[in-house]
Structure 1
């Protein structure tokens, strides 16, 4: 006799009937047989399946208990994976259907998580929202890029407020042209280090573009002390690559399993050690120069203005109103954060440019002719005046930035119960994705084919200028402050590479310029390339 047999039937009728029903079922015996006859891998698969089912059930119960006016949940979600399969197989058509059917705000179930999707005016509202309400850093760093596994929370917090402010001071549009000579020197150093043969086969294009942009960015952002420091250059480039390689793993695995996964994936520890080896001595040396200049009553210390110098001089105020500056080890980690923020976007969009030109020989021909017209023959020096006389390059880049937007991006996190201007509400902790491609084109299907890519649609509008049909750099107060410097790097790199190399795919086939992870996140092509020197 067990516990249930002792219960008064008249008081526990539902429980008693449930127990009787369970006793009549053969399921327990079937489950036992299934367990005994399953391999370890099969059991692991069953465990993961049950985990997702349990998490979805818990989320459903929580949502039912909340009394907020939630956006409509799109129906027809599949068990366990929700709407993820639709997004993976037909992202453009599916999102266009959702936008048309459910309006500017609706919810999707993506891998067991309820995500609010914003498009149209609601998408613009999310882009412009205050970070205290909808935080890009809390959502992007932790929910999408998982950067908090590589850098400590203090560094991320300091970087959130410091890096953007320093960028506005160090690399605003009026100051960007002064970096042209330094970028030119970096381009030449990169060629000497990475493309040393007459014919260079690049099997890993992402790594190549990251390494090359590192030669361009490091001396201009950190200082000429690091222009040929291979360890710093490598970590500045490889840190981004290591983080990106881990993202698909973290996206596919339940968050509760992340601590068990971390020991088996690419670690950023070696990059932190490199930066802590080389950055602090330079920081201490510069602070000593600043100290001597201040003691001598000089107005300026004479040090070169660059991003690292801006970080050194930046004064932060804590919650109690006390002022402080970053110490040298914090600055070493912030350099890695800077590497991720700057090098990732530049190398990614540079890759898009190259593959678009390879996919569209007509565009490559137009750009090559414009380069030859502005910088003819053996002229290698790129000038500000010359860049201003290249309208096709500007229009091409603006179109590439449009095409390079993810179907769903930004992933802001609600820091409190948030009410949209249309009356819909989401609870604290919710994730909000922006239908970025829809904001850039009107519908996801617009110019989605390789043949439809059309730089002329940009009509000579500056490639960094925000507009209602161009949100790649953000909107309002949250516009990317480093976009002017990034654009200059990409322009000069494209010109320099096309003047000096014939670029083709190893396969000889037309590549797909942009790929999307699970139909959502934009990724560059990895088709191997051949760089053949023209001289």
Structure 2
């Protein structure tokens, strides 16, 4: 007997009749039958679909309650997926259509979430916005990449407010020539370790380039103590990849359930353990040397001014205005943050360069001739020589422009934000930039492999900001590590092309890069062959 059948009819007649009426409807019976006959996979699919539908509905209701002059939501969104399918199938054409139809600011529904898209002057405004207004840390690192699951808030705070200051101190443009000998040694060490055969087949190019660049970056950023420490080198290289692999899971699972699944998928812990094993002893040793120098009245401790030293000496201020240094374990975790911020972008763009050369043999021929002319035989790479390589500079600048994601940055509004054109978005909104559109004027411009043309860069230095080159950011948020990153890529290209013939395993022309769901630019996965020239 149903519970409601026991209730006094005279007192609960309306409820009693309503329950009986619902029981007589055909829809509940059909839903019950569908549930009983459905497989586990079907039930999971229904659950995911209902989740995204409810999330979209709740978001819509919340937005309706706010009296803001919001950008127009582009129509023709599909059920559940919104505009994601259009972006996946034809991203350049679709975004250009949106830009032309709805201007420099509009909203799209991307996988059930309302996202504000900025291009043109509004895109530049988002790039230059203050962190307290539009935050990359809250939007990209926490909301999209879930980096806060791998690193604590104190470490992430250092990334937002400290890493840039340290980079400006230890790797400014004026000091870049000093790193050339160290990078050369790193390239040789990486080659001896990773390319040991006459013919080397690389099945996973992404991991290879990450490992290779770690041999270049780690000794120069952390110190020669770690130049051949395979555990530190591997963790520095693999940390970012392990974080990224978990992103799809976190995106699909409701946030309320994340604490329950974290113990089963969190793989970053092993990298933290590695860094806490090897970095603290060096930190303590350096601090002891600094103490002895201070006690002796010396003006300088004599230690190498690399990035690790910058982390050791960095002074932070707490909420009460008290100054403090990070302890040795906190410095160790901060090294992983440095890996996330630097190595991934360098290895990714080095990969783009290699695949562009394979896709366009005419460009490879031009670059190879320039390398042979400037650095013949076994001649060492020098600052003067690099300055005499305009084609390399133009090629690298063009690769960076081409490799920009269609939508990127993913900033989060930290308050109700008003754009200069009068449109407003509520606190918590997600803002994406049409980065490729900023670089080329439209998304479709020079989007074909055959249209890649380095000469269009007109010898403008690859690290110089410009209206049509936003890959390093703009204004006060311009990437301070770009000088060192470009030196690494230039020297890596020169060294690899001088010492190896590089081809695809398939022998076919590869795509220089891929686009994830039409939005994010990721590396090509075509296996490579490195054949030694000597």
Q: TM-score range by the shorter chain?
A: over 0.9
Q: Residue in 2 aligned with 1:433?
A: 432
Q: Residue in 1 aligned with 2:485?
A: 486
TM-score (ref. length: structure 1): 0.96
Q: Residue in 1 aligned with 2:208?
A: 208
Superimposed CA distance per residue, residues 496-525 of structure 1 (whole angstroms, 9 cap, x where no aligned partner): 000000000000111111111111111000
1:24 deviates by 4.7
Q: Residue in 2 aligned with 1:513?
A: 512
Bigger shift: residues 242-251 or 181-190: 242-251
Give the 5 Å matches for 1:39-54. 39-54=39-54
1:534 deviates by 0.1
Contact 1:4–1:16 (Cα < 8 Å) also in 2: no
| Structure 1 residues 103 and 309: alpha-carbon distance in aligned structure 2, compared to 1, 3 A threshold | same
Q: Residue in 2 aligned with 1:449?
A: 448
1:377 deviates by 2.0
Superimposed CA distance per residue, residues 153-200 of structure 1 (whole angstroms, 9 cap, x where no aligned partner): 111012211111000111010111100000000000000000000000
1:19 deviates by 6.1
1:255 and 1:423 mapped to 2: Cα distance? Answer: 33
Give the 5 Å matches for 1:75-474. 75-265=75-265, 267-379=267-379, 381-474=380-473
Q: Residue in 2 aligned with 1:62?
A: 62
1:144 deviates by 2.0
Superimposed CA distance per residue, residues 303-322 of structure 1 (whole angstroms, 9 cap, x where no aligned partner): 01100001111111122211
Contact 1:96–1:444 (Cα < 8 Å) also in 2: yes
Give the secondary structure class of the aligned counterpart of 1:82. coil
Give the secondary structure class of the aligned counterpart of 2:503. strand
Contact 1:209–1:351 (Cα < 8 Å) also in 2: yes
1:262 deviates by 2.9
Tell me the C-alpha RMSD between the 2 structures.
Answer: 1.7
**Tell me, which stretches of 5 or more residues in structure 2 are unaligned?**
none
Give the secondary structure class of the aligned counterpart of 1:35. helix
2:228 and 2:177 mapped to 1: Cα distance? Answer: 23
1:20 deviates by 7.5
1:266 deviates by 5.3
TM-score (ref. length: structure 2): 0.96
Size of the aligned set, in residue pairs, is 530
1:249 deviates by 3.3
**Tell me, which stretches of 5 or more residues in structure 1 are unaligned?**
none
1:478 and 1:230 mapped to 2: Cα distance? Answer: 34
Contact 2:150–2:266 (Cα < 8 Å) also in 1: no
Bigger shift: residues 234-243 or 251-260: 251-260
1:7 and 1:413 mapped to 2: Cα distance? Answer: 52
1:263 deviates by 3.4
Superimposed CA distance per residue, residues 391-438 of structure 1 (whole angstroms, 9 cap, x where no aligned partner): 000000000000111110001111111000011111111111001011
Superimposed CA distance per residue, residues 426-471 of structure 1 (whole angstroms, 9 cap, x where no aligned partner): 1111111001011011111011111111111100000011111110
Give the secondary structure class of the aligned counterpart of 2:502. strand
Give the secondary structure class of the aligned counterpart of 1:490. helix
1:206 and 1:265 mapped to 2: Cα distance? Answer: 21
1:71 deviates by 0.6
Give the secondary structure class of the aligned counterpart of 1:341. helix
Contact 2:92–2:406 (Cα < 8 Å) also in 1: yes
